[in-house]
Amino acid sequence: MAAAPALFKKKVKRVGIVYRHGTPAAAAMARELSKWFQHRKINVYSHPKQKIDAKVKHVTDPSKLDLVVVLGGDGTYLEAVRMLKCERVPVLGVNMGSLGFLTVSRSQDLYSLVELALAGELEMRQRSMIHVTVRSGAKIKDEFTCLNDLVIERGPTARLIHISMTVDNMPIAALKADGLIVATPTGSTAYNLAAGGPILHPEVDALVVTPICPHSLTSRPFIFPDSRKIQFSIQGQGKRAVLTADGSKKATIGPTDEVWVERERNGHLFIRKVGHNYFSLLREKLKFGERA
């Protein structure tokens, strides 16, 4: 039986605000919210690449934040997650974008939500993340984390790529496809779903690997316990592939590289209204269960 969610009870002294880039309404709301917090003697910080006003400093040490408020869509939310660098700082997402699957709260509810947050009356949940390590022999070339997904794709080349996959050093499959997606339960409703992968409930301890436009009809999504380590490599002399993490390009790999994927030790924290229903969210955002 799942444990009851904990309430967000921390005294908030330092808040980070991340708003949707290029959207005047989001920037204006960020300025208004900043003043609202400052009036309550709460220090406000902005994303390092954003500016709110002259009184607001940039985030330099995300571990010092007590709360992050996101004003935007899912892309803005993922940018806030990257800013936090796996620090366990709860995030409150307010939708000012289009879909808003991660930013589930309405913009008109912003101030009532932050009031509830300060009063300790919002519930706090954890979502799993994945840690990606790119190796070349014994050398680590790159490391990064994802909340939604890692994508290995063929990039600008017109030809399919050959990707071998092992789990805990056991060979599983060799795929010929445009690429593949490794998604967390949170990311299962993003690119993974569009590529024909399954929806995973957020509380499932699993990862799903979904081929993108595979050459073979027998290439289907794989679901693995997230306690396993999954390894990928590109086959074929001179072949290369592009790694994208949560929509942001991270690296280019070749036949001498290995990509290792495992569950990140620190999960992502977010806060929301008590009693939030995940299946209602699926119906609202994705029209899940509706008749055609």
* Model pLDDT, residue 184: 98
Q: Which residues are the active-site residues?
A: 74
As a dihedral over the C-alpha atoms of residue 37, residue 39, residue 40, residue 46, rounded to 10 degrees, the angle is 30
Q: What is the dihedral of CA 231, 234, 240, 244, to 10 degrees?
A: -30
**Complete domains list, the chain, with CATH:** 6-128+267-286 (3.40.50.10330), 130-263 (2.60.200.30)
| Contact (CB, 8 A) for 145 and 113 | no
- Look at residue 1 in the predicted model and tell me its pLDDT: 46
Half-sphere exposure of 208 (CA within 13 A, CB side): 26
Tens-digit pLDDT profile for the chain (292 aa)?
455 678 999 999 999 999 999 899 999 999 999 999 999 999 999 999 999 998 899 999 999 999 999 999 999 999 999 999 999 999 999 998 666 788 888 889 999 999 999 999 999 999 999 999 999 988 999 999 999 999 999 988 778 999 999 999 899 999 999 999 999 999 999 999 999 999 999 999 999 999 999 998 888 999 999 999 999 999 987 789 999 999 999 999 999 999 999 999 999 999 998 877 787 777 877 777 776 6
DSSP at 25: H
pLDDT for 3 equals 59
Q: Dihedral through CA 113, CA 116, CA 122, CA 127, nearest 10?
A: 40
* H-assigned helices in 85-177: 110-118
Residue with tokens 């409150």: 92
- Picking from 137, 146, 148, 161, the residue whose alpha carbon sits closest to that of residue 189 is 148
Query: SS3 of 242, please?
Result: strand
Q: Give the span between the Cα atoms of 52 and 26, in whole angstroms.
A: 10
